[in-house]
Amino acid sequence: MILHVDMDAFYAAIEERDRPELVGKPVIVGGSPDGRGVVAAANYAVRAFGVHSAMPTSTALRLCPHMIILPVRMAHYAAISHQIRDIFFRYTPLVEPLSLDEAFLDVTGCRQLFGDAATIAKRIKQDIKQETGLVASVGVAPNKFLAKIASDLEKPDALVIVDPAKVIEFLDPLPVGRLWGVGKVTGKAMQRLGVETIGQLRLLSLETLKVTFGDSGEHFWRLAQGIDDRSVVPDRDAKSISHETTFSADISDIELLRCWLIDLTEQVARRLRRHDRIGRTVQIKLRFSDFSTITRSRTLPKPTDVTQEILQTAQDLLTEAFRSSRGTGSKSIRLIGVGVSGLDQSRDVQPLLFDDPDEQRHVKQKDLDRVADAVRERFGNAALKRASVSDSSKNRSAKKNDQ
């Protein structure tokens, strides 16, 4: 059985935990309303006013003039994410992080040690609450797709269990928009077919879906049957390490996209170093408002786990991809991701006999990363921040799955 653990309003919840006087008050985490600041996270009190993530802060302020605006503290959130991940590893080594606030866990082989999947899910929720003061929603299901849907159904503080014998019964009443890849455009196309629920989609033939949706047709058909054969892949076994995020409102500002690229790259690089891996190929992924998706990659002269080297390549790829997409009239961006592949075990490199400026920069950045990782590991707070992350936080956009 698979667990999908998703922290509820992660950034805002951390701020409420750290400052109890904020509990019950409308709070957002995000940028200034004076510039191009946006809402990175909104607590449940402010959502009642119609405020949501990725909304311009100025708009949110008009909807809720008395809301409290707090700056993004990404390094602090990352340290707490690491603490939560350590809880996961108590129960299973099969942990696949998706972002700072969510992960898949395969607990199939853990029954004799900790009980069934539902029991493990309850224990993880309790451990997170007791040790961090935060609330997690958990979906328990036979596969990743079903577990992710389940975790989102009864937020906040959800625990939804999908009986393997009742998968179709679970899926059929749900709106078709719950399927991965069904957005506004695809949803309208399904409405034209008379499809509003997953159950109605399931009744259509595979051939009909292929004719209507092309290569995505089989993808929708399989999900409607509850089929998802993907396994949980921990970092140590991964052929690549990546992070991506989906925005609740599409973004057309490349500077906002750069802000997210910084955060995603930090996560990827730290995971590489944590598992003693280096990678040779950097890749970015962009999904547009019409759900078309492109990837761009570049192979480095030598493998690396250095944050700055990965980030520079990812930013170059973003600039090129963004420029070419604009030239073809493509839509704004709803998802961005960054990853590193061509992984190998990290190993010390023999120093060069003669001074090489590039090599010197590489060694210096690697040493800085090691120190930064050690400080964050020890203190578990925002003791260190990459300057570019701090500088860019005022213009940060928001995740769809920060719920």
What's the DSSP call for residue 38?
Answer: B
pLDDT tens per residue across all 403 residues of the chain = 999 999 999 999 999 999 999 999 999 998 778 766 778 889 999 999 999 877 888 889 999 999 999 988 877 888 899 899 999 999 999 999 888 889 999 999 998 899 999 999 999 999 999 999 999 999 999 999 999 999 999 999 999 999 999 999 999 999 998 998 787 778 888 999 899 999 999 999 999 999 888 878 999 999 999 999 999 988 777 788 888 887 767 787 787 788 788 878 988 998 888 888 899 999 999 988 777 788 999 999 899 999 999 999 999 999 988 877 765 555 688 889 999 999 887 665 445 444 555 555 655 666 566 655 555 454 443 444 444 444 444 344 444 434 4
pLDDT at 182: 83
pLDDT at 293: 85
- Residue 272's CB is within 10 A of a number of other CB atoms, namely 24
Q: Which helix (H) or strand (E) holds 98?
A: strand 95-99
- In terms of Cα–Cα distance, which of 21, 86, 98 is closest to 399? 98
Q: List the domain boundaries for the chain.
A: 1-162, 174-224, 235-395
- Say if CB 105 and CB 234 are below 8 A apart: no
pLDDT at 253: 78
In this structure, which CATH number among 1.10.3720.10, 3.40.640.10, 3.30.70.270, 1.10.10.60 belongs to the domain 1-162? Answer: 3.30.70.270
Count the alpha carbons within 13 Å of 30 in the hemisphere toward its beta carbon.
Answer: 34
d(CA 122, CA 271): 27
pLDDT at 127: 97
CB within 8 Å of 393: residues ≥ 6 apart: 31, 71, 72, 74, 259
- Residue 113's CB is within 10 A of a number of other CB atoms, namely 10
Q: What topology does CATH give the domain 235-395?
A: Dna Ligase; domain 1 (3.30.1490)
Q: What topology does CATH give the domain 174-224?
A: DNA polymerase; domain 1 (1.10.150)
pLDDT at 361: 61
- Indicate the pTM of the whole model: 0.72
d(CA 314, CA 336): 11
> Residue 196 catalytic?
no
Rounded to the nearest 5 degrees, what angle is found at the Cα of 138, between the Cα atoms of 6 and 217? 80
pLDDT at 381: 36
Rounded to the nearest 5 degrees, what angle is found at the Cα of 99, between the Cα atoms of 90 and 81? 50
CA dist list (Å): 127 to 84, 132, 135, 191, 285: 9, 8, 10, 43, 34
pLDDT at 403: 40
Catalytic residue among 16, 102, 266, 309: 102
Residue 100 corresponds to which tokens in the numbers above? 């700072």
d(CA 66, CA 61): 8
d(CA 266, CA 273): 11
